[in-house]
Amino acid sequence: MIWRTVSIVSLAVLVLLAGWSYGLNQEVGELRSALAAERDENVIDALAAAAAQELQDQAAVEALNVRYARAFDLNERNGAAWADTFTADGVFVVGGEEHVGHGALIAFQQGLVEAGRRTRHVMSNIEMTRRGDAATASAYLTLYTPADTAGGEVKVSTSRYKDELVLTEAGWKFKRREVVPDTLAVKSD
């Protein structure tokens, strides 16, 4: 009789443990699901934050290109506004010549103004790739050079900018900007 009582008690304990284990497994499963959902939510939040940052950076670089064009074309602050789109040691490369630093940039731009050269920059297809506080970028350039006299011919040229940018306290600036002229191959018969 004692064995039978022990067996019944053992069986009852096993049933209780099995039920507890099932409940525990169910709770663990629910906890795992909740953690997975939270992890997925964190991943989604991180991806959304990265996408938002990419859009903000792209918009900031497009705005930098607008400031660059306006400052150059309108000779804002006698070239200083254009130079301010570059870092203090920024480099502008055009026609194989490098103009390094704000002083050289202003001198280059003012030389064109003194020679009577007026321009209208139109940039498009602006792309950038960020790497920390630096980025590479490119843009298409259509450059209009108005005629010196009314009714004269407007010259149009196309190029591409190759840029190296850095993020400063004042926002994105050009560390290096190079003008790469388009060349058209003419096929002869």
Q: Is the pLDDT of residue 72 over 80?
A: yes
Single-letter amino acid, residue 179: V
Give dist(CA 50, CA 104) in Å, integer: 37
**Contact predicate 134/166, CB 8 Å:** yes
Helix and strand counts by DSSP (H, E) for the chain:
3, 6
**What are 153-185's pLDDT values in tens digits?**
889 999 999 999 999 999 999 999 999 999 765
Q: Give the up-direction half-sphere exposure of residue 69: CA atoms within 13 A in the CB hemisphere.
A: 18
Compute the average pLDDT of residues 25-38.
65
Give dist(CA 1, CA 123) in Å, integer: 97
| CA 152 remoteness from chain centre | 40
**What are 127-155's pLDDT values in tens digits?**
999 999 999 999 999 999 988 767 788 89
Q: Is the pLDDT of residue 91 over 80?
A: yes
**Contact predicate 38/142, CB 8 Å:** no
Tokens of 188: 């002869």
Q: Is the pLDDT of residue 117 over 60?
A: yes
